Each structure stands twice: as structure tokens, then as C-alpha cells.
Amino acid sequence: MTATFKPSDSILLPQTWHSLTPIWHGDEQVVQQGLPHNQLAPAWQILLLGDGSPTRHLQLLTNEPIEVDVIDMSPVGMDPDEAPDQIQVVPGPRLRRQVWLRTASGQRLAYATSWWEASHVDDYLQNRSIPIWASLARLRTELYRDVQGIYYGQSPELERAFEQPGPFWGRHYLFWHHKQPFTLIYEVFSPYLEKYLGPMQLD
């Protein structure tokens, strides 16, 4: 599979990455406790606060292969890159990768930015245009997904990309391997997933 670059994505390409402007955010303690269901429904909590593969979850929900459009692979050196504070534990110099996760039929479901130790990124992403979980599964890499923060917020760029109004739910987490953190990932999910998961909040 090759990365797909679409002319309509030109306003969304690499200069920066797309973080949410938070209306609310929670730290690791909130992640561990979970949220009231009138703030975030149980099915959405499983997606956002669980430690399973989001790409695998999306594939099971939609019953379609999940494909990756890589829109950015940029060296950022030791720059904090306006990333969550946990970027400091990812060895540098670093490489930033931005992707859309979409169904094979073209529906964008999530946006993700990740930061990798540049000298080792090829060890884990031997094919950079497939989902991270697929790369790691092929390598039989044992890892732990450590969710560190959750966000509810706005992003005009993501509204245009998802063709869905905000606010959006997002999170960031570290991947650990051999007791060492090796990448930081920031993800935002499209409200389109309400089609499969139901409302984001319960009355």
C-alpha cells in the first residue's frame, strides 16, 4: 500500500500538527478513573481510555480495512514541537509523523500525530504507509499503550478534514517497549463514529 496525497489536503499539510484547543482535558488520574457517562459514553471510553489498538477497533467497528494516508514525515530534532510534555521522554533527535486513518471506502475516522526517535523509526515502521499496529504486529513487538491524557476541544482544520462539526475527543499516550518509552502519539477521533458507537454523551 502506498501513502495517498490528495490535492484537497494541501491546507492540512506539514508545517504544524493539529492539536485540539481544549474545552476540557483530563490527566492520567482521570484516565485511570474513567469519566461520568453523561460526559463520555461507555463505548467511547473503551475507544479512548482503553489500551487496545484504535486501528484494530476501527476495523472491527466498520467491518472495513483501515488505511493510512501519511501527510507528514518531518524531522523535528530536539524541538518540543508543541507536543504534550511526555515528548521529553522520547529520545531524540525525533521525527514527527502525521496520518489520517480512514476506511478503504474513504471515510476519515481519526487523525494521529506521533513522535519517534529518528534513528530507530525504521526499526518499527518498516512500511511507513500501513497502520502502526500492523507494523508492530508483523514484528511481534511486545508493547504497552500508556494513555496519559484526554481532551475535548475544537479544531477548525479537523472540522474541514472530517467534514464533521466539533468539538472532538482526543488523547495522547506513550508506547513502551522493554520498559522504555519509544514513541508519543496524539489522536483525535471523528464524531462520524457515533454511527457505530452511539452518542458521545449519555443523558
User: Where along the chain do its domains lie?
Assistant: 21-193
Q: List, for residues 62-117, the tens digit of each pLDDT value.
A: 999 999 898 888 899 999 999 999 999 998 899 999 999 999 999 999 999 999 88
pLDDT band per the 50, 70, 90 thresholds, residue 129: low
Answer yes or no: is pLDDT of 41 > 50: yes
Answer yes or no: is pLDDT of 60 > 90: yes
Is the model more confident about 72 or about 133?
72
Domain 21-193 falls under CATH 3.40.1410.10: yes
Give the Cα separation of 127 and 153 in Å (integer). 32
Answer yes or no: is pLDDT of 11 > 80: no
Average pLDDT, the chain: 84
pLDDT at 125: 59
Mean pLDDT to the nearest integer, 125-139? 52
Per the listing, cell 476519515 goes with 108
Mean pLDDT to the nearest integer, 172-191? 89
Q: Which three cell numbers stand for residue 89?
A: 521522554
CA angle 180, 14, 20 (to 5 degrees): 70
What contacts 112, CB < 8 A, 6 or more positions away? 98, 99, 101, 185, 186, 187, 188
Q: Give this prediction's pTM.
A: 0.83
